């Protein structure tokens, strides 16, 4: 259903994305230390099962298991970016049915010059490889550039998406509790910069739970007329033993989503710690029917 995303841009209705992939994969007996994106090839049935659980819970859009599917992160796995990305898209498309598929694009994990070793052109090329692999399939509806904290890196990813596909682009940033990115940029600056780069929607995800994210969402709503996507964590992460856990339950999570909906936000999903139960709770709190 490529292009279906444009059908929701002009509708005054809610759109529900999915929740965390990593949280779900922790429930399976998988090889430790393996990049989760490799599972698109080695355990495709597991990835498809996760997608289907989110669809059943009520997601309208699911994101591919490609958050770290770039060359620098796949080096040494024996698999190419093209193989991993195209397998991920095939899995997501099978699971999505009539729903939409978003190519998930995450940060490189590296700093760009002058703070780091990678040049803007090198980062652009990493994302261009990912985008081109996705565009060749013809089975993606949009690009979700998410969990970014560096505007320069986001610009490279957005430009790659615009140069090598005709897909709509959403870009979501992660902020600290005081409303600034790790690079020190404030919310209004981030939103204005993303608008200038021509994204179709903006948003905030990760790092914070829905309560801590509320003031950020309020500022974002007052800063743009673009659609806003909000995907909080299931609370603030806590390390217990060797596991990261989250302390917000689906019902509490959904109550904050209601507050954000009252502010005018229409697009919601979940990030770290969230599961299909969180998606179901969102749907119920907003009075939506399941798929």
CA angle 153, 163, 165 (to 5 degrees): 110
CB 36 within 8 A of CB 21: yes
Q: Residue 244: which H helix or E strand, with range?
A: strand 243-245
Among residues 161, 107, 104, the alpha carbon closest in space to that of 132 is found at 161
Question: Following DSSP, what letter does each residue of 168-229 receive, concatenated?
Answer: -EEEEE---TTSB-TT--BHHHHHHHHHHTT-SEEEEESSS-HHHHHHHHHHHHTT-SS-EE
Which residues 6+ apart lie within 8 Å of 128 measured at CB?
A: 160, 163, 164
Q: Is 171 annotated as a binding residue?
A: no
Q: Is 206 annotated as a binding residue?
A: yes
Among residues 106, 231, 221, the alpha carbon closest in space to that of 175 is found at 231
Q: How many CA within 13 A on the CB side of residue 165?
A: 28
CB 37 within 8 A of CB 84: yes
3-state class (DSSP) for residue 85: helix
Q: Is 272 annotated as a binding residue?
A: yes
Annotated binding site: 206, 271-272
Annotated binding site for Zn(2+): 206, 271-272
């Amino acid at each position: 259903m490529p292009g279906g995303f444009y059908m929701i841009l002009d509708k005054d209705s809610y759109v529900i994305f999915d929740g965390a992939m990593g949280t779900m994969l922790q429930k399976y007996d998988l090889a430790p230390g393996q990049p989760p994106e490799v599972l698109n090839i080695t355990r495709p049935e597991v990835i498809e099962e996760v997608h289907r659980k989110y669809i059943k819970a009520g997601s309208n859009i699911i994101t591919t298991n490609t958050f770290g599917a770039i060359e620098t992160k796949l080096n040494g796995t024996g698999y190419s970016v093209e193989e991993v990305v195209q397998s991920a898209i095939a899995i997501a498309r099978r699971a999505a049915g009539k729903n939409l598929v978003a190519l998930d694009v995450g940060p490189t994990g590296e700093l760009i010059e002058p703070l780091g070793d990678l040049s803007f052109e090198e980062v652009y090329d990493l994302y261009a490889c990912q985008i081109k692999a996705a565009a060749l399939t013809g089975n993606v509806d949009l690009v979700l550039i998410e969990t970014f904290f560096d505007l320069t890196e986001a610009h490279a990813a957005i430009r790659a998406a615009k140069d090598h596909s005709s897909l709509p682009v959403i870009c979501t940033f992660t902020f600290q509790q005081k409303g600034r990115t790790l690079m020190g940029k404030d919310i209004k600056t981030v939103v204005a910069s993303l608008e200038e780069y021509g994204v179709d929607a903006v948003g905030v995800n990760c790092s914070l739970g829905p309560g801590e994210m509320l003031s950020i969402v309020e500022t974002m709503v007052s800063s743009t007329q673009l659609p806003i996507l909000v995907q909080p964590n299931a609370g603030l992460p806590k390390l217990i033993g060797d596991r990261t856990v989250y302390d917000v339950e689906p019902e509490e999570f959904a109550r904050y989503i209601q507050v954000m909906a009252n502010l005018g936000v229409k697009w919601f999903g979940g990030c770290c710690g969230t599961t299909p139960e969180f998606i179901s709770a969102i749907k119920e709190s907003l009075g939506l029917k399941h798929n």
